[in-house]
Amino acid sequence: MSTSPEYATFHFHALHHADQPLLLPNAWDVISAVALAGAGYAAVGTTSLGVAAAHGYPDGRGLAEVRDATVALALRLNGRLTCPYTVDVEGGFGGDAGQVGDLAAELAEAGAAGLNLEDGLPGGEGLQDPVRQAELISAVKERAPGLFLNARIDTHWRADSPPPLSVTLSRAETYLAAGADGVFVPGVVADEEISVLVAEIPAPLNILFAPGRHTVSRLAELGVRRISTGSLLFRTALQATLTAADAIRTGQQPTEAAGAGGEVLGYEEVQRLVGEEE
């Protein structure tokens, strides 16, 4: 595949309209992104939790330090991947419309093909006013019209009592009118609700993969166009690290304890992955 930014962006848009949904694994640093791209995934995303936590910060707080780390990662990925990549920017890191537009322009210049923009307020303090969120979306599309803007709607994210789907659909309509290219509703897991969203939203629907509740084949049957892993891979890797370390401490075999089936990437393989695009 051509790695020119223009083709990568065009290809990334097209992946949302292919015969099968786009399975998007989310990376947290350069090596995880390079490894996933090398494993043959059609595109790679970043996880805001993974990027923030890897730098010692909490997710979803709109911190300038996480913004800087996110942009730096996007710059480092430019030219290193054989597939398009999209970037999770939380809610725009607390910026106004002009600042969020500037961020989108930075990411486009860095080589990103898309971005994720959520309407959850920093610190979990409710949801952004939809009109205000639409202004952020419009600013992104004005400054970086080629980026695939995935509008994340947090009505169901970590919500004990989510509002009716009509609220989600109303926000989706507003965001699409502002220029969003797709809609992401994390936290929706039931087939019935997913089917309603697919039927009522005239744009590619992105669902967050829920272990034990979802399969790629079933989500494809429901009409989902993009399936994200979110922070799942990062959290799995962190748990595997703890499990392997504890196995060594207790006299077990670390690879078996961590569920790696006795297989771990070798030192030389990691070195090759890091340097293969240089």
Q: Which residues contact 195 (CB under 8 A, 6 or more apart)?
A: 222, 223
Q: What percent of the chain has pLDDT over 90?
A: 81
Q: Based on the domain organization, do 31 and 86 belong to the same domain? A: yes
Q: Are residues 147 and 222 in the same domain?
A: yes
Distance CA 252, CA 265 (A): 19
Provide the domain limits for residue 189.
Answer: 5-230
pLDDT of residue 272 exceeding 90, the answer is no
pLDDT band at 172 (very low <50, low <70, confident <90, very high): very high
Does residue 78 sit in the same domain as residue 206?
Answer: yes
Give the per-residue pLDDT at 275: 78
- Looking at the fold, whether 243 and 115 belong to one and the same domain comes out as no
Q: In the prediction, which pLDDT does 277 show?
A: 43
Query: Could you tell me if 100 and 206 lie in one domain?
Result: yes
How far apart, in Å, do the first and last CA atoms of the chain sit?
17
Asked whether residue 197 falls in the same domain as residue 270, the answer is no
Q: Return the pLDDT at 278.
A: 42
Residue 259 confidence (pLDDT): 66
What's the pLDDT score for residue 260? 60
User: For residues 1 and 44, is the Cβ–Cβ distance under 8 A?
Assistant: no
Whether 255 and 223 share a structural domain: no
Do 93 and 193 lie in one domain? The reply is yes
Write down the residue that tokens 């010692």 correspond to: 56
pLDDT at position 110 = 96
Residues 110 and 217 both lie in one domain: yes
pLDDT per residue over 212-223, tens digit each?
A: 999 999 999 999
200 shares its domain with 276: no
| Banded pLDDT at 160 (limits 50, 70, 90) | confident
* pLDDT score, position 55: 96
The number of folded domains in the chain is: 2
Which residue, among 151, 158, 160, 154, has the nearest Cα to 179 in the 3D structure?
151
Do 157 and 185 lie in a common domain? yes
Q: Which residue has the higher pLDDT, 60 or 268?
A: 60
Q: How much is the pLDDT for 1? A: 47
pTM of the model: 0.92
The answer to whether residues 209 and 232 touch, using CB atoms and an 8 Å cutoff, is yes
> In percent, how much of the chain has pLDDT > 70?
95
Domain boundary among 212, 230, 248: 230
| Domain CATH code at residue 173 | 3.20.20.60
Instruction: Point out the domain boundary residue: 191, 207, 230.
Output: 230
Distance CA 74, CA 203 (A): 26
Better pLDDT: 278 or 178: 178
pLDDT at 231 over 70: yes
CA neighbours closer than 13 Å in the CB half-sphere of residue 168: 25
Cα 182 from Cα 175, distance rounded (Å): 9
Whether 155 and 116 have beta carbons less than 8 Å apart is answered as: no
Q: Are residues 166 and 247 in the same domain?
A: no
Write down the pLDDT at residue 70: 98
